Chains A and B, each alone.
Chain A
Amino acid sequence: MAVLDIRRKLSILADAAKYDASCASSGGEKRDSVGGKGVGSTEGMGICHAYAPDGRCISLLKILLTNFCIYDCAYCINRVSSNTPRARFSVQEVVDLTLNFYKRNYIEGLFLSSGVIRNGDYTMEEMVRIAKALRLDHDFRGYIHLKLIPEASPELAAEAGLYADRVSINIELPQDESLKSLAPEKDVGDIKRAMGRMRLAIDERAEPARTAPRKTFARSQSTQLIVGADQASDGDILARSASLYGAYRLSRVYYSAFSPIPDSSHRLPSSRPPLLREHRLYQADWLMRFYGFEQPEIIGAGEDLDLSVDPKTGWALRHREKFPVDVNLADRETLLRVPGLGAKAVERILLARRQARLTIDDLKRVGAVVKRAKAFVVAEGWTPGMATDGEHLKARLVEPAQLSLF
């Protein structure tokens, strides 16, 4: 095999990693390099050091250790049957790249994933070696996110947790049946069991230390679902998310619109990624996590989200009997369900109305999207009249497509 220079390897192995949507560098333990021998800090909030022209945050050096893989998952560019160029980093190369980029303030840290070579344990071991070298040899205190290989031994996964701030396993397909047909060598049971063990480990280490000072350990785990590679409806996808959030305390479920890949499998749709659908799923996900909605309220199994309005507006249009809401009287839970009122705006409304009755202009100042909210609220000097029940209300709330859909 030809020897590739580091630049060529980086271009292959970053390209191979870009279909993973996760980039977060938040939620790590607070620490800095004061008194240490190396560099690095994490201060709770992650930093996006650049944005690619796809609008995605570049926070971490997101690469694969190698894109050689023994598996044949149809949706993956790195599957064994794909004709993509292959490369493999050495442990030292990844360590050097990470430190060189970090010292120049390009990145928050490393996000390392890998194709599976030889077997799960061998691959996981190599990945853990990199994290270990960064932490122990270089006293690196920046962010590390390791992708777990589900079939690797629990001991290796636990070791990964010792050096990483976050670990993740991508479940990829919202329905187990499609995982079976599109990723025949992957065992959904392996994935779920690995996530289950990781949650128990995270929970256990999060408990306050009783006697000995406790070792630091990964704080969170996340996963990714691909949208549009199989027949799963939005309802199925959100039901899966609700189930994953409940079971494994995931900090995030990422939704990744299935993107055409070079040399794709004939069993997958070859079309533009459904970006708007992905966006609506994120909105629905936020409703579940921050707005007190339960999944069945947003959408039933087998149904798809209405792409023309955001899911909260969709819910409000289906439940017009609950509106208009008086912004000067309603409680937090009710306000959170009003279209156009974000979580921050709601907090500010609760503060501001202690001092004066709020008008529509006040709503604008506290950061509400008044255009969307005004048909659903009563404020000082404002009632929507018949607008709340008007048959053309929906047409007026449909937003012009904001994402470049071509």
Chain B
Amino acid sequence: MRVVRLASEIDFDGWRVAARDLRTEGIPPETIVWTVERDLFSPPPCGEGAGGGGASAEMAGSEPSPPPQPLPVRGRGFTVPPAFVELARSVVLHRSGERFALLYRLLWRLEREPRLIDNPADPDVAKARDMEKAVSRAIHKMHAFVRFRLIETEPEAYAAWFEPAHRVTEAAAPFFARRFTTMTWTILTPDACVAWDGQTLKVSDGADPADAPAEDAQEELWRTYYASIFNPARLNEKMMRQEMPKRYWRNLPEARLIPQLIETAQERAAAMVAATPSPAPDRVLKAALRQARDGSYNGDVPTSLEAVAAGVQLCRRCDLWRDATQGVSGQGAAHARLMFVGEQPGDQEDLAGRPFVGPAGQVFDEALAQAGVPRDRTYVTNAVKHFKHEPRGKRRIHKTPDRGEVQACRWWLDAERRLVRPRVIVALGATAAHAVMGKATPIGANRGKALQLPDQTRAVLTYHPSFLLRLPDAAARERARAEFVEDLRLAGELAGLLD
């Protein structure tokens, strides 16, 4: 039987050196006893005065703990996966008496099973992972449940007494240094004390509950907040205990309210349910009527582009408004000679409330510039004013509007045509062609020429810019793009917009 004495409960480096030598020597796990040295002349704890007295060591301030190093090779040395070193560093902080033995057993097995650490289903690995999880939870709970108390005012100094579930005081301390860098504070625990003076973290031996700082005046306000934010109608004691285990309660100033809050919850909730509701004021009913009247989008024919823009927002002629952010009406010169009609707003247009600002809009702008047509002298709108789409995870997938929706929305397109009175209308894509021509009109057979509309307006049919974006073949895309620019130039010429 071999007995190994480590310098402290969390002596990872000591364990590492001993374990390396033992495995190199070929000493099997079942023949080793791991113990921790009890120092008879242990220095006094840091309890007396914040951070005072006792043997203390400096920690690397607010720096995060150093990245795990592979074990150095010595003699016929060996290496282990970095994941194991990281795991061991954390498991050592667990209060379990068998942590050193378990870690050595894993190290021993790693010789024959080099990928052991990657097998979460192995019983030893699973146990070590559980301990690692418990340690990490203890660190997290320490970050959450430490309660500082003001102990000096000029300059401000704070102290806290805390009892962590595992030996995590040193591991949890850098977080407080990063968060409260400009404060002076001390955290006392039974295992160790850490003190921060604004520059360095000093660690010393554990303290006694009697060293806990006196109550802070803010705690009364904090309790007021705790009691007020609780909703008695949602009492769920089990969930609270799971997340805030009772072992922490004695150091939480708010916890003393818990029994009373629970006791009175049922009664308070029942009183709210039973209370007779007060009658709704007339004002509310009148407002509801007013809102209902505002839905009269079927009313008068709009007489200005502003009326179109406002009307589109209230439009319920089809169901597309429901999932859209807003209606997007046309924009541009009020009496433009050239009007462009697209299909419908896309994702970006729906958010911004303006037509052709997304990726297709960019293609459109570039082609317009190439054709020499100034966009600010044209009017740009869509056949359908709301974005039709289907949510797919975090994105919205465009859906082509159906015939009914195009038909319903012609009310607005016709109003825009009447108000702008363009000489030439360019329909971009099949949906727009349908809306402008009043019947399905294929683009391929009709593009590149000036068509006559019944009201003496001329129409040009061409591709929708997003069609160009979707073409997978580069050569085909270039060809279509050239045709698109050609069509825009033709329209610009017909409208007399080219220099």
Task: Give A contacts to B, CB under 8 Å.
Answer: 6-7, 10-12, 14-15, 17-19, 32-41, 43, 47-58, 61-62, 72, 74, 81-83, 97, 100-101, 103-106, 176, 180-181, 184-185, 189, 192-193, 195-197, 199-200, 242-243, 245-249, 257, 259-268, 270-273, 275, 288-289, 294-295, 348, 351-352, 354-356, 358, 362, 365-366, 402-404, 406
Q: Quick check: is B175 within 8 A (CB to CB) of the other chain? A: yes
Instruction: For the complex formed, measure the closest distance between the CB of B28 and the CB atoms of chain A, giving whole angstroms.
Output: 23
The answer to whether A266 and B277 touch across the interface, beta carbons within 8 angstroms, is yes
Given contacts A54-B232, A58-B229, A103-B148, 17 further A-B contacts (CB under 8 A): A18-B228, A18-B230, A33-B180, A52-B231, A52-B240, A54-B231, A55-B234, A55-B240, A97-B221, A104-B222, A105-B146, A196-B325, A199-B351, A242-B391, A267-B277, A289-B393, A366-B126
The answer to whether B391 and A17 touch across the interface, beta carbons within 8 angstroms, is no
Q: Quick check: is B67 within 8 A (CB to CB) of the other chain? A: no
The answer to whether B284 and A404 touch across the interface, beta carbons within 8 angstroms, is no
Instruction: For the complex formed, measure the closest distance between the CB of B385 and the CB atoms of chain A, giving whole angstroms.
Output: 13
* Interface SS, B side: helix
Q: How far apart are the CA atoms of A268 and B280 in the complex, in Å?
A: 11
Q: Quick check: is B469 within 8 A (CB to CB) of the other chain? A: no
Q: How far apart are the CA atoms of A270 and B279 in the complex, in Å?
A: 14
Q: How far apart are the CA atoms of A53 and B239 in the complex, in Å?
A: 8
Select A32's contact among B143, B181, B347, beta carbons within 8 Å: B181
The answer to whether A54 and B272 touch across the interface, beta carbons within 8 angstroms, is no
Chain A contacts of B232 at CB under 8 A? Answer: 54
A7 nearest in chain B by CB position:
B224
The answer to whether A106 and B147 touch across the interface, beta carbons within 8 angstroms, is yes
Select A275's contact among B234, B238, B243, beta carbons within 8 Å: B234
A-B contact pairs, 19 of them (CB 8 A): A10-B224, A32-B178, A35-B181, A50-B226, A50-B254, A53-B235, A54-B239, A55-B242, A55-B243, A103-B158, A106-B222, A184-B290, A195-B325, A196-B325, A196-B326, A262-B275, A270-B275, A365-B123, A404-B235
Chain A contacts of B258 at CB under 8 A? Answer: 53
Of the candidates A55, A81, A262, A265, the one having the most CB atoms from chain B within 10 angstroms of its own CB is A55
The answer to whether B120 and A348 touch across the interface, beta carbons within 8 angstroms, is yes
The answer to whether B239 and A55 touch across the interface, beta carbons within 8 angstroms, is yes
Of the candidates A62, A257, A272, the one having the most CB atoms from chain B within 10 angstroms of its own CB is A272
The answer to whether A48 and B322 touch across the interface, beta carbons within 8 angstroms, is no
A101 nearest in chain B by CB position:
B222
Q: For chain B, residues 331 to 368, give those with C-beta under 8 angstroms from any C-beta of chain A.
A: 347-348, 350-353
Chain B contacts of A61 at CB under 8 A? Answer: 225
Task: Give B contacts to A, CB under 8 Å.
Answer: 62, 115, 118-123, 126, 140, 143-150, 156, 158, 160, 175-176, 178-183, 216, 218, 220-222, 224-240, 242-244, 252, 254, 258, 261-262, 265-266, 269, 272-275, 277-281, 283-284, 287-288, 290-291, 313, 322-326, 347-348, 350-353, 389, 391-396
The answer to whether A245 and B224 touch across the interface, beta carbons within 8 angstroms, is no
The answer to whether A48 and B224 touch across the interface, beta carbons within 8 angstroms, is no
The answer to whether A245 and B393 touch across the interface, beta carbons within 8 angstroms, is yes
* Interface SS, A side: loop
The answer to whether B277 and A189 touch across the interface, beta carbons within 8 angstroms, is no
Chain A contacts of B156 at CB under 8 A? Answer: 103
The answer to whether B229 and A51 touch across the interface, beta carbons within 8 angstroms, is no
Instruction: For the complex formed, measure the closest distance between the CB of B166 and the CB atoms of chain A, giving whole angstroms.
Output: 18
Chain B contacts of A249 at CB under 8 A? Answer: 394
B120 nearest in chain A by CB position:
A348
The answer to whether A355 and B148 touch across the interface, beta carbons within 8 angstroms, is no
Evaluate whether A348 and B183 lie within 8 angstroms (CB atoms) in the complex, with A18-B231, A72-B281, A106-B147 already known.
no
